[in-house]
Chains A and B, each alone.
Chain A
Amino acid sequence: MSSNPDKVVFNGVSKSFGKKGEDLLVLEDINLNIAEGELVCLLGPSGCGKSTLLNIAGGFEAPTTGSVRVDGEPVLRPDPRRVFVFQEYGIFPWASVWDNIVLGIRHLSRERQHEIAQETIDLVGLSGFERSYPMELSGGMKQRVEVARALAVSPDVLYMDEPFGALDSLTRLTMRSELIRIWQDRHPTILFVTHDVDEAIQLAERVVVFSARPGRIEEIIDVDLPHPRDLGAPEYGQVKNRLYERLGVSHRI
């Protein structure tokens, strides 16, 4: 739907893990093009391989067949221009909020580090907590530190692996609207993995629906709703119905 050039391209990606002599196929023939500045959600049931796909894109795991290219270059290893935001907190508990955030910009001059760190801290709403340690922060604030650490390096691409999964439902809603705000402000390309249908519709321009194992792309659904999205709008409900249908579950309990 975007007219921008392709940023991340998955070409025939499959992944199998050897287990007890048998090969367990978790991802099968994934072909997907993500445009620059696009926000795409990968949605599927637990164990469908969507996190594995993200790890392959991030350069943490190698595909069994196929390849991932970013800006036309194959991904071989992690790269500071593309930052991964982890499901479990990947920020360092032994370092203060400030020291965590400057991790990716430690090569810059002191003044520049200071400038960027303060800017991102303000952006994610952590002002006043610069000297705090992660253990002194709530779950939502820890996740903000993680996002700030990623944003500090001004990445082209953000890989987010169920980053709000461990938060309570209210904090999760706040974090989603903050993510949209940041995305509209800076327009990085975002690949966001989730198993939450509402989260996918609230965030994504396109939702990639995965089947259960082995993960295959079931369908790609455009969410053509302007931000801020009205969660009570009929169009919202229509998209939701369609996603539930594609996932093969009833949304009536």
Chain B
Amino acid sequence: MSAAWIALVLAAAGLAFGLRLSRRIQEWVLPAALAVALVALWDLACRFTGSVIFPTPHQTWLASLELIESQRLWGDIVASLFRVTWGFFLAAGVGIPLGLVIGWSTRTFRAMNPIIQGLRPISPIAWIPISILWFGIGDGAGIFLIFLSSFFPITVGTTAAVRNIPLVYQRSALNFGVRGLALFRGVVFPAALPQIITSLRIALGVAWLVIVAAEMVGMDSGLGYLINDARNAGSRYDLVVATMIMIGLIGIVLDFLIRRLERFDEVRWGYVQR
């Protein structure tokens, strides 16, 4: 009991003290202190309510170690990442070229935009029965669902990126006689690229949300399945929460990796003013 109180006091002290530090140190100290405070509150809440099912931070920590030591966790992580990677890259491979064409050609935009806008609001989760019907229980259905959930943000984002290209770039290109494929490669694509990368980032975030839900409903491996399995096999809520934290951490890593793309000289200009 006392450990949680001490942690809470330390966190409060950290927050109060952290406010006086330089910006760089604040960026580490403040969130760390806040995290410690939240974990302490979690622990106190468990003890206060006397819950026997909901795990304490310590039980969750032990469950995490159990997961890491078991061979199973890695298999489930690989299964989830495998589906996300394939679905995401397929969606980017189709969505970026399609978005470039729709954004550039007014006629294509007129023809396709209403259909895309009509399909887009359908939750990828709603496609689960159909994906199982078409691909069975397994990676195929997962990849298809991730493809769907990434495809719309990427296509719509790329279309908007092209349509937002300032007129002055198009006129520059026209003035210097750049047209055809060179126009696409040399002007349209690079001008739209910063916003395309932003749409990739959004799509990857959505994909990581969707894969867990899909695995909980219609698959027999992956982190989503692991959560379901832990609950069904004897209400192991400690494993449930440990897996949730794992999902969050992997999500952070994925976002960190895709943000590296924003650092290249060719796209850095697109993020300065924001």
Residues on A close to B: CB < 8 A? Answer: 58, 60, 77-80, 83-84, 86, 88-96, 103-104, 133-135, 153
Contact = CB atoms under 8 A, between A and B. Distances in A.
Interface in B236-269: 265-269
Contact of B178 (A79, A89, A103): A103
A93 B270 CA distance: 8
A90 B172 contact: yes
A89 B193 CA distance: 19
Given A84-B171, A92-B190, A95-B190, A103 B269 contact: no
Contacts of A77: 174
A91 to B, nearest CB: 7
10 contacts: A78-B174, A78-B177, A80-B176, A86-B168, A88-B168, A92-B187, A92-B191, A94-B269, A95-B266, A135-B268
A103 B176 contact: yes
Contacts of A135: 268-269, 272
Interface in B165-182: 166, 168-169, 171-172, 174-178
What is the interface of chain A mostly: helix, strand, loop, or mixed? loop
Given A89-B168, A92-B169, A103-B176, 15 more contacts: A80-B176, A80-B177, A84-B172, A84-B175, A86-B168, A86-B172, A90-B171, A92-B172, A92-B190, A96-B265, A103-B178, A133-B265, A135-B268, A135-B272, A153-B176
Contacts of B266: 94-95
Contact of B171 (A86, A96, A103, A153): A86
B175 A80 contact: yes
Q: Which A-B residue pairs are the 9 nearest by beta carbons? A: A93-B269, A94-B190, A90-B172, A104-B176, A90-B168, A78-B175, A135-B269, A78-B174, A80-B177
B193 to A, nearest CB: 7
A94 B172 contact: no
B11 to A, nearest CB: 41
Given A90-B168, A92-B169, A60 B265 contact: no
A84 B175 CA distance: 7
A51 B175 CA distance: 16
B92 to A, nearest CB: 19
A202 B174 CA distance: 31
A128 B171 CA distance: 28
Contacts of A104: 176-177
Contacts of A92: 169, 172, 187, 190-191
Given A88-B168, A92-B169, A60 B174 contact: yes
A94 B176 contact: no
Nearest to B168: A90
A94 B175 CA distance: 18
Contacts of B168: 86, 88-90
Nearest to A77: B174
A134 B191 CA distance: 14
A58 B175 contact: yes
Contacts of B169: 90, 92
Contacts of A103: 172, 176, 178
